Structure 1
Amino acid sequence: MGDETTTGSALPGAYLDRLPKADLHCHLIGTVRAATFAELARREGLALPDEPERIFADINSLPPDPALYRDTRIPVPQGRSADEPAVSYSLFQASNWVVDVLRDADDLTRIVYEAFEDAHRSSSTRHLELFFDGVPPHLESLGYVGSVEAYAEGIRMAERDFGMTGRMIQGIDRSRSGEHALGLVRQVVDHPHEYVAGIGLDNLETSGPPERFADAYRLAGEAGLGRTAHSSEHAPTAVNTVTCLDLLGCDRIDHGYYVLEDDEVVARMRDEQVAFTVVSTTSRRSWRPWRRASIEAMLDAGLRVIPASDDPGMFPTTLAAEYRIVHERIGATAEQVRSMALAGVDASWLPPAEKAELRGRFESEIAALDAEFGLTRS
């Protein structure tokens, strides 16, 4: 797309690692280090079927009913992949175990801080937006306000130590009722916090249609909160993404691969430059080739895709690894890669002045990297 380097179109791996990045789609529990989980599990005497490090290494969520995916435009693998472990642990099961060992405010602050530290050190992440779910079951005494403040303290520490910025996203479990979601959003609205910037619909898309949550999203919109949703990820249809935009008022979409099922929707997404946070690595190992083929098709269609890490501690992956995959395996051009990094800032939920300042930093850092690596842009 009008970009060449002095040595061809490939960007060096070190350049991709050091490229400034914003991660807009990352689940806090999915960032927890295996070593941290092991330490907390020992502290609480949690009985596990294997060592925490082994469990994390063997996370492999099995896909939903394959019959749902037999006629998709980009074929979805129907069998198992060669890298699946003999004993698999689902992402949800591992996440539940992690939640079970969180017992005080310091635990919450710690996992947030470590999420930022890992993102900073592994991927040159400058801005991170973390999904958090309801109050952990053993921390009900903290309540919503106490939990959010514990999370926020981790962000403040990361801002101080790493020069990063961060925000939190109240996750909405789509397997629950619309009334439950409305209650969560009321908490966010009634107790505004500078670090809670928006809401996001998560969990398996097939367990709850987006229209179920219209009232919750309407309230969030009235309060000026950012709105996103996991969409067109598990349900092989573009309709849910249209609903998320038109009924829920989402200003970005998490995943979105199945918009490719409808040419008219693809054209609309391209024309409106809807931001899609995409992740080429998933706990459904057999689906990874399909994910990557879908992202390639989205790029070819001119859609605005922004790499994200999702659950980096458990897949495992890093945001830098996702950028490497997008460039080296999927084939995004150097200019597309740079545009993705800047799009991450533009689609973030920072206040306008902070967003403008961060974008300026990104532009300066990218220009400095280009000069250091001897890259030319036409």
Structure 2
Amino acid sequence: MTSATSPAHYLQRMPKTDLHCHLLGTVRATTFADLARRCGLDLPAGPEVIFRDINSLPPNPKLYEQTRIPVPRGRAADEPEVSYSLFQVSHWIAEALRDADDLTRITYEAFEAAHRTSSVRHLEVSFDGLPPHLGSLGYRGAVDAYAEGIRLAERDFGMSGRLIAAVDRSTSAEQALARVRQVVDNPHEYVAGIGLDNLETAGPPERFADAYRLAGEAGLRRTAHSSEHAPVAHNTITCLDLLGCDRIDHGYYVLEDDDVVARCRDERVPFLVAFTTSRRSWRPWRRASIAAMIDAGLNVVLADDDPGLFPTTLTDEYRIAAQDLGLDRTKLRAMALAGVDACWLPDNEKAALRERFLTELTELDALDALDDAETPA
């Protein structure tokens, strides 16, 4: 029989925050299948097959020839013959969403899965612009539908949650500013901030200075995908200094510049990272990069990014940290608490969440000590 605090159970039961999670990327294969069949979505294969074969191909390899941690060039052993990119599948999921109840459903299921698989106590999910068939809802109607999913999850699972309005970096500066103005003009208690998504090579952070300035003036929190696809560290400095970000999504290529690493270490900039990616061939590189970030003393907080599509769970990410990187419980506990510090709850709620974490971690350790005492020598 497995003890209550075996390594696997301990990692699953550790309280966690998940602060870097794309809502469309949380959708389960079964939910997508249900939505796609209901609306008669024309797909090249069955939904279950598409989810099984998600594998985003790497961008131009010439960009990554001189990186400090070598980026793999070959195929991964588990790459399917026919691949479906993360962006393509996310587009199909958006196409299958047809009413407000669908938005509430996928939000609630995201929280349910995080609670059930990973003991997530606080979840922040980013949402894109309106799905193609939901223009009539408008921005506010969509946000209300997402928020209803969070309220139901808070009631059922004792969690807290917030929404992050995603800015698509493949759009123009003017379009990004319009997106943020929409957020600012329609304040909502559950929308805590904005994030900059999509391929980093599609839009440099400088393009979004005006949009981020408007968000900051309105009191919104700010984050951005940075140093993830562009193999440079200076984008992260731009995100911190020009965009006013208080945390960074990914950030692996900060390792290209020792001065940037030193600054980010000294300022305790939170980096929300995930070992698992839809680029299967890059997964070993991700692990090596995150290990190097931790070794460099950076403030690394684990996330799961697109858990329904990779697939992964936050517990899986913690398990990789424990088993592959050799992080002990003390370091994993510190990482979980760093997630509380980096979250976008109001200060009083954040303080209460930290106390909850400390209590639950103490209880887990007490169970662990009891198991050790009862185990025959």
TM-score (norm 1): 0.96
Aligned to 2:45: 50
| 1:331 positional shift | 2.1
* Distance (Å, rounded) in 2 between the aligned partners of 1:123 and 1:212: 37
| 1:299 positional shift | 0.5
Aligned to 1:62: 57
| 1:374 positional shift | 1.7
Identity across matched positions, percent = 73
| 1:340 positional shift | 0.7
| 1:332 positional shift | 2.1
Aligned to 2:130: 135
- Equivalent pair of 1:60/1:88 in contact (CA under 8 Å): yes
* Distance (Å, rounded) in 2 between the aligned partners of 1:126 and 1:309: 14
Aligned to 1:270: 265
* Distance (Å, rounded) in 2 between the aligned partners of 1:35 and 1:163: 25
Aligned to 1:332: 327
Q: Is 2:38 aligned against 1:27?
A: no
Aligned to 1:235: 230
Q: What CA deviation, in whole Å up to 9, does each residue of 1:133-184 have, x standing for no partner?
A: 0011111111000000000000000000000000000001100011111111
Q: Is 2:184 aligned against 1:189?
A: yes
SS at match of 2:287: helix
* Distance (Å, rounded) in 2 between the aligned partners of 1:121 and 1:272: 34
* Distance (Å, rounded) in 2 between the aligned partners of 1:214 and 1:290: 31
Q: What CA deviation, in whole Å up to 9, does each residue of 1:42-85 have, x standing for no partner?
A: 11111111111111111000000011111100000011111101
SS at match of 2:344: coil
Determine which of 170, 173, 176 is the counterpart of 1:175: 170
Q: Number of matched residues?
A: 367
Q: Is 2:347 aligned against 1:323?
A: no
Aligned to 1:6: none
* Distance (Å, rounded) in 1 between the aligned partners of 2:256 and 2:168: 25
SS at match of 1:168: strand
Determine which of 344, 353, 362 is the counterpart of 2:348: 353
* Distance (Å, rounded) in 2 between the aligned partners of 1:179 and 1:374: 58
Q: What CA deviation, in whole Å up to 9, does each residue of 1:269-311 have, x standing for no partner?
A: 1111100000000000000000000000000000000000100
Aligned to 2:249: 254
Q: Which amino acid aligns with 1:339?
A: A
* Distance (Å, rounded) in 2 between the aligned partners of 1:133 and 1:190: 17
* Distance (Å, rounded) in 2 between the aligned partners of 1:332 and 1:57: 30
Q: Is 2:207 aligned against 1:212?
A: yes
Aligned to 1:7: none
Structure 1: runs of 5 or more not aligned: 1-9
Determine which of 82, 103, 106 is the counterpart of 1:111: 106
Aligned to 2:368: 373
SS at match of 1:277: strand
Determine which of 307, 316, 325 is the counterpart of 1:312: 307
Structure 2: runs of 5 or more not aligned: 372-377
Q: What CA deviation, in whole Å up to 9, does each residue of 1:228-263 have, x standing for no partner?
A: 000000000001000000000000000000000000
* Distance (Å, rounded) in 2 between the aligned partners of 1:352 and 1:45: 46
Q: Which amino acid aligns with 2:271?
A: F
| 1:333 positional shift | 2.7
SS at match of 1:137: coil
Deviating 4+ runs (over 4 angstroms): none
- Equivalent pair of 1:174/1:208 in contact (CA under 8 Å): yes
Q: Is 2:91 aligned against 1:92?
A: no
TM-score (norm 2): 0.96
Aligned to 1:153: 148
CA RMSD of aligned residues (A): 1.2
